[in-house]
Every structure is written in C-alpha cells, then in structure tokens.
Amino acid sequence: MMIIIRRLAGHLARGFVMILVVATISFFIINNIPGDPMAARYEKLIEGGMAPEAAAQAVKVLYGFQPTGTLWQQYSDFMGGLLHFDLGVSVSRPGTPVLDVLTEAAKWTVLPVLVGTLLSFLVGVVLGVYAAIKRTGKLGDALAISGSLLHGIPQYVLALLLVVIFATLIPILPADGPVDILFDPGFNAGYIGSLVEHAVLPVVTYALSAYGGWVLAMKSSVVTVLGDDFILAAELRGMKRSIVFRYIARNAILPLFTILALSLGLLLGGAVFIEKIFNYPGLGLLLIDSVNDRDYALMGGAFLLITASIIVANIVADLFYTVIDPRVRSGEDAT
C-alpha cells in the first residue's frame, strides 16, 4: 500500500508541474498569434468612446487577465486565474466562462468515445487471443487481416464510409447532430431513443478504428506468452486446456491494460474529425470552432483540458499496472 501511495504522490507532483508547463507554453503561443483578439476588442471599445482604463478592465473581465499590462503581468494574472479554475470567458459565446463551455462539450465526447473504446477493447482482446492460438489456420489469418485492414484506415475515412452506407445508401441511421430537435430534452423515451440512435454511427466508428490495434496487440502479446516456461509446465502437468487458456489470456492482457488507460486519456482529444463529420457537439468540434472563431481563451482551455486528461491517464495506468501485476510491487520491494 505504501508503494502505491508513494508512486501516487510522485505522479501528482510531476503531473501538476507538467500542467503548469503546458499552460505556460499555451499562454505564450496564443499571445504571439497574429491578430490578437484582446487588442482588437480593446481598440474597438476605445473607438466607441470608452476610457482606456475602463476598456482595459472590460477586456480583463472577458479574458481573465489585463491586456494592456506587461507580458509578465498578463502571465501572472492568467496563472492566478488558472489556480482558481478560472480560464477566462469565451469570445464566441459572450459572457460564458470557458470552463462551462468545456464541461458542456465534454459530456458529448466522453460517453460515445468511452463506449466505443471499451467495446473495441473487449472484442479485440477476445479475437486477438483466438488469432494467436489459431494463427496457423484460416480463422487466425482472417482475424489478423481484418485487424491490419481496420488499423490502417484513418478514422475519418471509416466515418465517411459508414455515413455513405448507413445514412445514404441504406438510410437507417441519422448522421447529423446528437439528437433529433423534435424531442424535448429530458428523461423520456423519445429523447433517450434519439440520443442512442444518433450515437450509433460515432460509437461504431470509434470501435472499428480501435479494433484493429487491439487485435494485433493482443495477438502479439499472446504469442509471446505462449513461449514462456510456465505455459509449457502447465501443459506438461496435464492441465485442462481451458485452464491453460485462462493462464495465457490473463498474462497476455496485462500490457494491454496500460494501453487502455492511455487510450482513455485521449478521449477528450481524439475525436476531432469524427465529431466534425457527424456534427457532434463535443470537444473535438469545439476545438475546431474555437480556431475558426479565433476564440483563444476557449482554444487554450481545450488544449489544457486535453493535456490534463492525458496526464491523469498516465498516472492511472501506472498505478493500475502496479495493482494488477504483483511482479511490479515485488520488484520495488526488493530495491
């Protein structure tokens, strides 16, 4: 238990420093992008007859830091707001805090990507085991080929193919927006059914795009485990094939749990093209819109949220691997 606590404390400290570094880099990059919206808004308010001090204060309320101060003062105000979870106010959505916009968009990204990732993981792991065990037969070849093909097709190509097939040629599923506007939002059958129906194609796209990687990774891991001494010893002792199969799967799947945790960390940033194609109002589409609207506060907040999710995923992956693999704990105890 103390090992896990020590590792957690170290990871949290490093993660906090990394978030501050990313926030710093984002701040200076955004402040050096041509066409600073803060300066443009400040000049427009002054041209409208507002006093320079009042204009500066109005822009500070909008962005979270003083646009007319020195760069160091702006940076200090920005980091001070960040420590209080204040990311400023969105320009494209006047008066709306960036954190509220990101929270609203995140709920449309997390669930479809989470369902698609877990579905592809479960199916890919099971079929990957069979692909390794039956690797000399037609079934193993077919599974390996399917994994290679789907792994090599970009997400946006899969999304477009699914739209063409299931929304155009065979129009059985919607491919635009998260829900039908005819239904009133709430916990009712019509609205929930429409949510599920609109989520099918994005979820299937996520699942198919990740399936190939899981099949190939699990097959490779199982083939490696098949050559270990403990598998040979189990077979020589005459253990049932089902028990040997369980040994193989349990040991081969350990590295994939780390990959799964890291994949979940990319939930918030890995859906840009899919959300654009399906017009799904998640973080990916929000990031594109913030770039088009030159909403730098929203853009910086989205980058920071994606970075924080990846850092948290790395921490969870390391701790999870420590818990499920006793060899890691015993190795640390010996040092």
Confidence of residue 35 (pLDDT cuts 50, 70, 90): low
DSSP state of 239: -
pLDDT digits (tens, 9 = 90+) for 49-68: 888 888 877 777 766 666 66
Short-list 26, 52, 22, CA closest to 39: 52
Q: Is residue 162 over pLDDT 90?
A: yes
Q: Is residue 42 over pLDDT 70?
A: yes
Structure tokens at 213: 């990687």
pLDDT digits (tens, 9 = 90+) for 246-277: 777 777 777 787 788 777 777 666 577 888 88
Section 194-199 average pLDDT: 90
DSSP 268-323: TTS-HHHHHHHT--SHHHHHHHHHHTT-HHHHHHHHHHHHHHHHHHHHHHHHHHHH
Residue 329: predicted pLDDT: 53
Confidence of residue 26 (pLDDT cuts 50, 70, 90): confident
CB burial string 32-65: b at 16+ within 10 A, e below? eeeeebbeebbeebeeeeeeeeebbbebbebbbb
pTM of the model: 0.78
Residue 112: predicted pLDDT: 87
Residue 292: predicted pLDDT: 80
Confidence of residue 36 (pLDDT cuts 50, 70, 90): low
pLDDT digits (tens, 9 = 90+) for 64-86: 666 666 778 878 888 888 888 88
Residue 254: predicted pLDDT: 77
Site of tokens 């957690």? 8
**Residues forming beta bridges with residue 97, ordered by sequence position:** 89
Residue 132: CA atoms inside 13 Å, Cβ hemisphere, count? Answer: 24
Confidence of residue 163 (pLDDT cuts 50, 70, 90): very high
Residue 67: predicted pLDDT: 60
Selecting from 1.10.3720.10, 2.60.40.10, 1.10.287.3610, 1.10.645.10, what CATH number does the domain 98-334 have? 1.10.3720.10
Amino acid in position 8: L
- Sorted by where each begins, the domain ranges of the chain are 2-83, 98-334
Section 273-301 average pLDDT: 84
